[in-house]
Amino acid sequence: MNTILQDLHIHTVYSVGDSAVVPQMTIDFIASLEHADIRGISDHFEYLQGEIFETYRHDVRAHGFYLGCEINTGEETREAVEYPYDYFIYHCRDRESEYRGAEFLVSTGKPVIISHPMAMGANLARVPRECFIEINNRYIWRGDYMNYFSPWTGEFNFVFGSDAHQPNWLNQTIARKAAGDLGIEESILFPKPTPAGTR
Ligand SMILES: [Zn+2]
Ligand SMILES: [Zn+2]
């Protein structure tokens, strides 16, 4: 039993253009750390299009992880839904096109996690209520989270995530502290996987 139940926001070497990702951050290495019961890999969608997708999918599945991606814009949602992801993580900025992108992702029926909405400037009044709102370790402490999230704690379901980049990698200490301050309980999106290779 891990202290972290679920971590669906993890970046790896597949995020090739992300300057906060280093060569040691392989899926193999993450698998060996066993830091959470339910884990998903969510590299940036812009680096997963075309041929590389099959390599990524195989690598993620071979280690028993859920298959996700992080989508940067409303326009990218159109292409992302063509791939067999288990869930989507989405940057929702305060723009009409980005709220429409969130609605489009929700229409797939797959879980949609709004990543670090305070850092992106999302207006939660305009985010579809079916979305899960992320409290993430990388960004939560950088703003007035009590003021931003308090009106919405009863409106949405929430998930906690690392947004794992170096140096503060694979950790939810601050996210969990902030969620505790807000009285938020975590939604668990997937069953705990059976050992690698059997699903
Ligand atoms: Zn992000
Ligand atoms: Zn991220």
Q: Which ligand lies nearest to the CA atom of residue 90 in the structure?
A: 1
Answer yes or no: is pLDDT of 99 > 60.
yes
**How far does the centroid of ligand 1 lie from the alpha carbon of residue 146, in Å?**
20
**How far does the centroid of ligand 2 lie from the alpha carbon of residue 127, in Å?**
19
What share of the chain has pLDDT > 70, as a percent? Answer: 96
Q: Which ligand lies nearest to the CA atom of residue 119 in the structure?
A: 1
- In this prediction, residues 131-152 reach a mean pLDDT of 96
pLDDT band for position 195 (50/70/90)? Answer: low
Buried-state track 1-36, b at ≥16 Cβ within 10 A, e below 16: eeebebbbbbbbbbbeebeebeeebebeebbeeebb
CA 94 to chain centre: 19
pLDDT band for position 164 (50/70/90)? Answer: confident
* CA–CA–CA angle 133, 135, 138 (5° rounding): 135
The environment of the single-atom ion ligand 1, i.e. residues with CB closer than 5 A, is: 115
In tens, the pLDDT along 70-90 reads 999 999 999 999 999 999 999
Instruction: Please give the pLDDT value at position 121.
Output: 97
What share of the chain has pLDDT > 90, as a percent? Answer: 88
Tell me the whole-structure pTM to 2 decimals: 0.94
Instruction: Please give the pLDDT value at position 196.
Output: 55
**How far does the centroid of ligand 2 lie from the alpha carbon of residue 183, in Å?**
24
**How far does the centroid of ligand 1 lie from the alpha carbon of residue 91, in Å?**
6
**How far does the centroid of ligand 2 lie from the alpha carbon of residue 114, in Å?**
11
Question: Helix, strand or coil for residue 56?
Answer: helix
Answer yes or no: is pLDDT of 199 > 70.
no
- In this prediction, residues 127-155 reach a mean pLDDT of 96
Q: Show me where the domains of the chain are located.
A: 4-182
**How far does the centroid of ligand 2 lie from the alpha carbon of residue 187, in Å?**
19
Instruction: Please give the pLDDT value at position 159.
Output: 97
**How far does the centroid of ligand 2 lie from the alpha carbon of residue 44, in Å?**
7
Cα 89 from Cα 162, distance rounded (Å): 13
Instruction: Please give the pLDDT value at position 169.
Output: 83
Q: Which ligand lies nearest to the CA atom of residue 43 in the structure?
A: 2
**How far does the centroid of ligand 2 lie from the alpha carbon of residue 9, in Å?**
6
- Write down the architecture of domain 4-182 according to CATH: Alpha-Beta Barrel (3.20)
Alpha-helix runs per DSSP H in the chain: 27-33, 52-62, 74-80, 96-106, 117-120, 145-149, 173-182
Instruction: Please give the pLDDT value at position 166.
Output: 74
**How far does the centroid of ligand 2 lie from the alpha carbon of residue 47, in Å?**
13
**How far does the centroid of ligand 2 lie from the alpha carbon of residue 165, in Å?**
8
Instruction: Please give the pLDDT value at position 131.
Output: 98
Cα 88 from Cα 110, distance rounded (Å): 7
